[in-house]
Structure 1
């Protein structure tokens, strides 16, 4: 655990703390495949349909398959967070409470970055943030009329992914939709929810149709994403930094701490991504709260 004196004297030494914290705080880090790199860009091969195959007699010519190796490039974009504390608070933290103080400070910085990462991945694309799910063309859409009533659309999404030789490793929903699902019962007269508890430690606590369900306020209400984890990538550049400054707010006697990283996303099999959406019904309340 970091101490306050350690954090003040060696802020840069706690980069790994930020990156580990991101794994726990960010929904995206839990459901996408994370790759770290030192490069400014990283390429991933796109999944392409297999070529034609045929049964042939001995000695007959096999049809040629012109294999294509299309790829996408992911450019990690800079994201950062700043926190400030008074010099008096730092002095007071140089006591038995110093470890807790530093931990709270680092957790706060990590939480800010994690929220920005989740917003970029699930939310509407804005400015220079890396393009996320809503920017992916040609995903598979499953429409549900009116309201969430059963697990049928989720089973359909699982089946669709299996037909493409992959699997849905997580469903991601707005909290209001997760709440609506939790209130739906498995059948008439049943008190059992559609959602079930997960026995896995350290992961999402809830399952739907046997698949982990995660939530984010940046997902559109009325939309639930089926995520094939092997084809959704989060790229993190290793050069995350933590820095401090006693000059930026000199007149107010405050110390500034800044954490930055560079993160991008890549989606290598759009058709395997499932977008389950309500139609002809009232969406739940607003986004990004």
Structure 2
């Protein structure tokens, strides 16, 4: 008896599943720009475990010939679980037969996946599906006093991150927060912006750090982060199309899925601020 295999069977018996590198399909995803992605993982239960040294211990001068004491380092690990963000669309055959329709549909579904991923990355509550968002992570630096007429709070936030041994790499801001900062003036009677003229198109930056502006951040809020302090995991972005799922209505299903997760490894290297 001959064995039926996918290479010798009609294509309907082996439908294609297309996978893409996330940076190609969802380049605006915050996790790709502000976290250290260490690997790929599939499933809600498996986790990526990343070891790290939480305390370098004590080192000092030792007299010649004396016993060198144990530095007494502290070892720890960060456990990253992931969740799947998915979008599904049902379209009539005639809709996707229109020129450019399929590309527009996939672009739209991809944007919706990014929107959800960014919102979760920043604002997920501990009880929500998926990992806890950066804003709700325990023990991060939280400036209760809002930024006023100067950038002193922001300077302090960067200093706090560096005091813990980190390096501030990004500022994540809500559009209104960035607009408010951009309107700060050098003096009361001056029209000169505190952070630059703002009339030349250039990469957004503040205090030497790139600024990522996103509506996923709550209004009037900012985060200062050290990319190496946030560990991420992900899967490829998968695009699938089925002409059979909605056969009875002559419709086509298009699905986009992306699995991702993150965990803050050093909470004192993430700082939350607000704008007055």
Q: TM-score, normalised by structure 1?
A: 0.78
- The match for 1:244 is 241
Give the superposition deviation at 1:118: 0.7
- The match for 2:261 is 264
Match of 1:29 among 32, 36, 39: 32
- The match for 1:85 is 91
Cα 1:36–1:258 change in 2 (3 A) is same
Counterpart CA distance in 1 for 2:186 and 2:49 is: 44
1:225 partnered with 2:223: yes
SS in 2 for 1:48: strand
Cα 1:25–1:188 change in 2 (3 A) is same
- The match for 2:64 is 58
Cα 1:252–1:186 change in 2 (3 A) is farther
Q: Which structure 1 residue ranges, 5 or more long, are not aligned?
A: 1-8, 94-99, 282-289
Give the superposition deviation at 1:105: 2.6
SS in 2 for 1:194: coil
Q: Report the RMSD for the aligned CA atoms in angstroms.
A: 2.7
Match of 2:78 among 72, 95, 106: 72
**1:193-231 per-position Cα deviation (integer Å, ceiling 9, x unaligned):** 23446x998xxx311222111223232334311010111
Q: TM-score, normalised by structure 2?
A: 0.82
**1:100-128 per-position Cα deviation (integer Å, ceiling 9, x unaligned):** 44432322221111111111111142532
- The match for 2:6 is none
1:136 partnered with 2:142: no
Q: Which structure 2 residue ranges, 5 or more long, are not aligned?
A: 1-13
Max Rg structure: 2
